Amino acid sequence: MNEKTLESYYQILGVRPNATQEVLDAAYRRQVRLHTGEYLDDSVLIAGPEPSDPFLARVDEAYRQLSNPLKRWTHDEALSEAELVPLTEEELESARKRIEPSDAWLSYQRLENGSIYIRVGWAEDFTAVHEAVNRAIPEAGRTYNARLNEWRVDPRYEGELAEIFANFERAGVQAPPRQVGPIYKGVSAIPAAQRIHQAWKGWPFLVIGGLILAIIGAVLFPANRADPVAAQATATAQALISSYEPLESDFDEPPPNAIIGLTGTLQHPSVNLRERPETAGPVLKLLSNDRSYEVIGRLEDSSWYVVATGEETGWVAAWTIEVEGEPASLPVRAENDSLPAPTVEVSSDSDSE
């Protein structure tokens, strides 16, 4: 924080002090997009190079400081103790536009296999944007991947996407054609020489070699040797079967109240565990990506998952966690259901094979 102007990191990114990690990621992408016109991928968010541009350096410093929970707490304490200077009307209007944008932005878009793939990068209300996409595009023309937080949309609905997202680029707006230089006529091609096929004359050697191999095989592996080997194998098998005695099973059956779950890994440094499956729900705990968590349930549309930490059980947004295995196998729970907190047994694809 600059001690002279008391400009906080929240003002630099244009977010509220209670912004989640998802909002910080989207705000960082949006500031870079507005300043440079470039889209950022996930690798730049995790470990990007230090920018040389002064504005981008301030934005990068603010994002790195607020993404670290300890540094963010220290920054908040310094803000609470500082004697802030009131902002002018122009500064308030500029900050209000940055904190409360009226449009939604995409973190990326691509055209692949005849479909448009998009991911929401910035929105004042992510849930409202998801609902807007569902209303504007029929179910037959869209598919949502909750694990990747990615939409697959039919190209026929480009107009609807352009109305929802401010930075959506239509495929019809093409770059100018590439200039091609003059084509000079080269030397005429030389016709290939015709090949005359002749009959192969090496078949006598092939026949002789086969006869020699057959004679060697008959000498080394006589036919009458198979009978004693087969008889010995049969006798051994009968002896093993007659001496077999059933053993008592040492495996215990799983408890009747055990919940079969999957392993989840957070996609951001920290994610809120909420009491209800909505962004306005009370926060139960701040989860960190230095460990994995057990996913034991989901909403019917797989937009939120039930996560158990061993101490708390709550809801986590689907676009903030990557679930190993098949999320469709998780039990479906309603928003108002009471969440269980038993011992969780994690299953994976390797265990089911």
DSSP letter string over 69-110? HHHHHHHHHHHHHS-PPPPPHHHHHHHHHHHS-SSBEEEEEE
Domains of the chain listed by start with CATH number: 9-99 (1.10.287.110), 105-164 (no CATH), 259-347 (2.30.30.40)
Q: Bridge partners of 283?
A: 274
- DSSP letter at 252 equals P
- Show the CA angle centred on residue 102, arms to residues 96 and 106, nearest 5°: 120
List phi, psi (to 5°) of 334: -85, 165
At 230-249, the pLDDT tens digits run: 556 555 555 554 554 555 54
CB of 325 closer than 8 Å to CB of 347: yes
Strand extents, DSSP E, 123-253: 142-145, 150-153
Is residue 223 classed as helix, strand or coil in its secondary structure? helix
CA separation for the pair 133, 246 (Å, rounded): 61
Digitized pLDDT (tens) for each residue of the chain, 353 residues in all: 444 344 688 888 888 888 898 888 888 888 887 777 666 655 555 445 566 778 888 888 899 999 999 999 998 888 887 755 566 777 666 655 554 455 788 888 999 999 999 988 777 778 888 889 999 999 999 999 888 889 999 999 999 998 888 888 887 644 444 444 444 444 455 556 666 666 677 778 888 988 898 899 888 876 555 555 555 655 555 555 455 455 554 445 545 555 668 899 988 888 888 988 988 888 888 888 888 889 989 988 888 999 988 888 999 999 899 888 888 888 898 888 888 765 544 554 444 33
CA torsion sign for 217, 221, 227, 231 is negative
Task: Choose among 85, 76, 79: nearest CA to 18.
Answer: 76
DSSP state string for 184-204: PP-PPPPPPPPPPP-----HH
Single-letter amino acid, residue 252: D
- Sequence-distant (≥ 6) Cβ neighbours of residue 145 within 8 angstroms: 151, 152
DSSP state string for 284-349: EEEEETTS-EEEEEE-TTSSEEEEE-SS-EEEEEGGGEEESS-GGGSPB--TTSPPP-S-EEE--H
